[in-house]
Amino acid sequence: MVEDETEGFSKLSPDQRLRSLDKRLDKAQAEEAKKASKVQADPNLRAGQLVLSHLVGAPFGGALIGWMLDRWLGTSPWFLLGLMFAGFAVGIMNVLRISKTTGRGPGEGQ
């Protein structure tokens, strides 16, 4: 199949070959632009995922570190509870920080 295409191109004049190449490049660029426009995520979706990760990850991380400290120091639930609630506070602070920056456009700064 490749041999057939190269034979067909060798019969064309240089101008016709360039026009054919331009058409194929334009077609490929249009298809790539169509794919790229579908792939871009909605900024609101990204912000929502970021908020969710902070609200879940911060308390979970605090609880995990507290659990490990409790096992190491033998203080049963105290570090677990304290660091889990600290994680909640950090998660809420991060959500507030995200909410202050989300509503701005790309050129409006922070």
Is 107 domain-assigned?
Answer: no
Cα 99–Cα 102–Cα 108 angle in degrees, nearest 5: 130
Is 58 domain-assigned?
Answer: yes
Is 15 domain-assigned?
Answer: yes
Query: Are 12 and 61 in the same domain?
Result: no
What range does the domain containing 72 cover?
Answer: 43-102
Count structural domains, the chain.
2
DSSP labels, 18-45: HHHHHHHHHHHHHHHHHHHHHHPPPHHH
Q: How far apart are CA 78 and CA 69, in angstroms?
A: 9
pLDDT for 108 equals 45
Query: Are 76 and 54 in the same domain?
Result: yes
- Which has more confidence, 98 or 39? 98
Q: How far apart are CA 58 and CA 54, in angstroms?
A: 6
Query: Are 25 and 49 in the same domain?
Result: no
Read off the pLDDT of residues 41-99 as tens digits, 9 standing for 90 and up: 778 888 889 999 999 999 999 999 999 999 999 998 999 999 999 999 999 999 999 88
8 A C-beta contact, residue 26 and residue 33: no
